[in-house]
Structures are given as C-alpha cells and as structure tokens.
Amino acid sequence: MNKTKNVITKHLSKARRAGIKAGMTRWSYINYILSILKNAYREFENRVDRLKSPRGAKTEQVEAAVEAFSGRFTLYELERACMGVSRDMVRKVLRNLQKTGFVECLGRGPGAVWQKRGNTLKKG
C-alpha cells in the first residue's frame, strides 16, 4: 500500500512541476494505473511460481491418502481425498501400488472397490 502511495505521489509531483497541464495530469494518472497493474502482475507471477508442487508431491499425496484409509475404498473416495490430483495420476499411482502388492482391486469399472493389504509403503 505504501508503494502505491509513493508511486502516485511521484507521478503527481511530476505533473505539478510541469505546470499541471491537463494532458500531463491525465498521463500521470495513466502511468499510475499502469504501474499498479504491472506490480500486481509481478506479485501474481511470484505466487504462481511458489504454488508449483515439487516433483513427486502428487504421488506422495495419493500414497498418503491410501495409507489413511482403513480398509476398503473406491477411486472416487481416493480422488476426493486428493484434491488437485488428476484422475489419471490417481490411477497411475494405484496401478503402481497394486504391482508392489500394497493394494488390490476387488472389482472392475468405475465403482470398483480397492483394499489395502498387510504391507506398508516403504519410503526411500
């Protein structure tokens, strides 16, 4: 907020020094608005860069959700537990867990039930 005040003060003081011509005042205001938009966009870019998840974070999120289930679960329930992870990614992780013997599928189709086995996921 203070940056914004400093910018408008700077542009208005330029306009005053130039004799406060109507055209100059308008351009100072336009420059002020453009500087606000430019700064807001930079801040937006910085926030988006911070939101990018590190490699493997979604896999870990799905694995943690599977571990949190006590027994049987469906693909839909797992997707709801892993917001922000695509259905394809959830299926990929489930297939990998199935290959390692951590889970087994007890049916076919979209309503198939999955069940954890006695193994535990090993990290590392």
Average pLDDT for 48-60: 79
Average pLDDT for 83-104: 92
- Domain segments of the chain as ranges: 2-51, 57-116
User: Can you give the pLDDT at residue 110?
Assistant: 74
> Which residues are registered as beta bridge partners of 103?
116
| pTM score of the predicted model | 0.54
* Residue that is written with structure tokens 């100072």 in the block: 28
Average pLDDT for 83-91: 90
pLDDT at 17 over 70: no
* pLDDT tens per residue, range 41-53: 998 988 877 776 6
Of 37 and 51, the one with more pLDDT: 37
Average pLDDT, the chain: 81
| Strand ordering across the sheet containing 113-116 | 72-74, 113-116, 103-105
C-alpha to C-alpha distance for 104 and 112, rounded to whole angstroms: 10
Q: What is the architecture of the domain spanning 57-116?
A: Orthogonal Bundle (1.10)
Nearest residue to 101 (alpha-carbon basis) of 120, 88, 78, 74: 120
Look up residue 23 and give its two tokens.
């055209």
